[in-house]
Amino acid sequence: MSDITDQLSGKAKQVAGIATNNKELEAEGKAQEAKGKTKQKANGMLDDAQRKIDGLKKKVNER
């Protein structure tokens, strides 16, 4: 699943767990949402690193 899908699915599971007093489902939802947020941050860090690498390559090629 994508990071956004994990976050939304996780939130839905949390809400369903709360509504049905199902602590296991609620915990599963929290974990899935956290997984999505972690994936989103990791992807952002990879994008930042790639931009920096591309900038360095450009500077090297200009020499």
pLDDT the model gives residue 26: 97
Digit-coded pLDDT (tens) for 3-37: 999 999 999 999 999 999 999 999 999 999 999 99
- Record the pTM: 0.78
1 pLDDT band (50/70/90 cuts)? Answer: confident
Residue 42, pLDDT above cutoff 90: yes
Q: Residue-wise over 7-46: b if at least 16 C-beta within 10 A, else e? A: bebbeebbeebeeeeeeebbebbeebbebbeebeeeeeee
pLDDT the model gives residue 3: 93
What are the residue ranges spanned by the domains of the chain?
3-62
